[in-house]
Structure formats: C-alpha cells, structure tokens
Homo-oligomer: A and B are copies of this chain.
Amino acid sequence: MRPQSLAVILASVLALLALPATADTSKPTPSAKELIAQSKPNEWRTPDPNNLLYMQLPQGRVVIELAPDFTPLHAANIRTLVREHYFDGLAIIRVQDNFVTQWGDPNDDDSGDKSKIKPLGHAKRTLPPEYTRAIDPKLPWTSLPDGDVYAPQVGFTEGFPAGRDPATGREWLLHCYGMVGVARDVAPDSGNGSSLYTVIGQAPRQIDRNLAIAGRVIEGMQYLSALPRGTGPLGFYTQAAQRVPILSVKLAADLPPAQREQLQVLRTDSATFAALVDAKRNRHDTFYTLPAGKVGVCNIDVPVRTQPASSGAR
C-alpha cells in the first residue's frame, strides 16, 4: 500500500454520507464531522448535572449520564452512594472480553474479605427491578425503522438507545456499547447500584429486560474498554494488584460549575442526528461502494462534544 493509503482508508471509515435512499450516489456527501459542524446550537443539550457521574480512574475520567426517566430509583440510590463516597477506593473488579467491565467492592466477591465489605450507608439494599417501564408518550421518541432482531421497535430517547413493545406497552433501554447496567444477585430486587457494568463488546442484547440500565458512558469509555481482561472465571481479576482503583466518583452537581465538564450531547430528536443516522445507513463514497441500506440501533453513535466557547445552548 502507498504511504497515504492508511489515511485514505481511515478518512473513509469515518465518512458518513447523508444520502436519502434514492440519493445520487455518484457524489460523496458530508462526513459526520461535517454534519456535526453544520449543526445548530439548539440541537445539543447539556446533561443535567444531577445526572452526571464523574468516575476518576488513574488513567483518566469516565463520565456517565444517568437515565432517571427509565431507572429513577436506581439513579436516586446511586446519587446517595456517590454523595456518601461509597465508590471512592473501590475498584474495577472484572473485565470479560467482548462482554462487560464491572466495578464495585472487591470484598463483595468470593475471594474477598467479607468482614471488609463496605457498608451502603443511607442507600437502599434492594430496589424494584426497573428493567422496563410503561411507554410514556411525553418522552421523546425517535424511531429507527430499520428493524431489529431482539425488539419489536427500536429507536432513541433522550440520547439513549431503546426498545418498545406495543403489545405490552413497555419500553426499555438497550445493552449497546457503553451503556451502563446494574449488577445484581439472583433476586430481581437485589440490584442497588453499588456494582455497575458497561458493555465493551458486541451488544449483549439477549440480556435486555433482565437487568436495569442506569445510563451511558459519554466520555472516557476507552478507560474501561482497554483494560486487561481478567483471567479468572467470567473475567474477574484474581489478584488485587490487577484491579484498577476508583479514586473517586462524584456527582457533577456537587462540584462548582467551573469544575464541571462542558459536555453536550446531540439531541436524538434533532435533524442533525437524523442526518447522521441516514448517512450511516446509506454511506457511499469513493471507498465504500456498496451502501448497507440499513443500520442497526447499536451501530449508531450518539455524538458528544465539548461545548464550543461561542455556543449559547444550554
């Protein structure tokens, strides 16, 4: 390959083209970067600081947006745990390849010292499952008409991938890459947010509706996905030295505004998001000559950016 070949390949890999199904495929259309550059300030939202967790690892900061419209009791319990510094000093305890990275109390494990299990403080020990919720017509819903293997309907709501079943009237968040779920014991009410996991491989959609989803990693995913895989059963780290310490988890709302990340998430009910989805669906350029024509719900990235200095969007 010629020296420039890799750059060309890579530019093409990101080149998402906004072509309607009947588009003129003879000319490439703007890339994702270009579509985002053309977006309007009001297409972006600044997440509520009451829903933003900052998890500080030695490698860097992970930012998680909670999803209280889907898992309100879990969001409240996690906020309580965070405010009582429950997570500070705990660790990443499990990294299973092509599945999940999980964090929590290392002593809350077979090999742990039960006498040292960290108390949950004022947080609840059990919570109603919150795996699904009644479809709420007041919540935004951006339908993805491309179909899905697992759910009757899929789409996006408030920045999160979601599924719906009109037959049951229920909706739920999906286990796509970067989504954050609530580990639990066998009993459905045994999850309380003290141990969380995020998806680091192919979306394990078969576990949808069997676990509560607390939110999504919107920044720093690479600090969770690139960790050495655990060599114990199911990817647990077998030695304390392998675990990545959690220096602290804080709620953005508890920090002075000047110390908060200036992150914005593209609204999933915006025109630019629709253009990005269609671009991915019908991508066609000098490199990719055969557009897929369809796009999977977990193949769609919801863009996050640092708020431009000139932006007035809230």
Contacts and interface: CB of A to CB of B under 8 A. Distances in A.
As for how many copies of this chain the complex holds, the number is 2
A58 to B, nearest CB: 13
Interface stretch (A135-143, A205-213, A242-250, A261-269): A205-213
A211 B282 CA distance: 16
B13 A194 contact: no
A147 B147 CA distance: 9
Nearest to A109: B6
Interface residues of A, number: 81
A286 interface: yes
B205 A236 contact: no
A108 B287 contact: no
A6 B149 contact: no
Contact of A177 (B150, B201, B294, B295): B201
A174 to B, nearest CB: 11
Given A6-B110, A99-B13, A234-B13, A210 B288 contact: yes
A185 B3 contact: no
Contacts of A281: 206
B294 A185 contact: no
A205 B203 CA distance: 13
B190 A3 contact: no
Contacts of A209: 290
A13 B201 CA distance: 15
Given A149-B295, A205-B296, 20 more contacts: A1-B184, A1-B192, A2-B185, A4-B110, A5-B108, A5-B184, A7-B109, A7-B110, A10-B94, A12-B186, A14-B234, A149-B296, A186-B286, A186-B287, A201-B202, A202-B202, A204-B299, A206-B292, A210-B288, A222-B229
Interface of A: 1-14, 93-95, 97-99, 104, 107-110, 112, 114, 117, 131, 146-150, 176-178, 183-186, 188, 190, 192, 194-195, 200-210, 221-222, 225-229, 233-234, 236, 280-281, 283, 286-290, 292, 294-296, 298-299
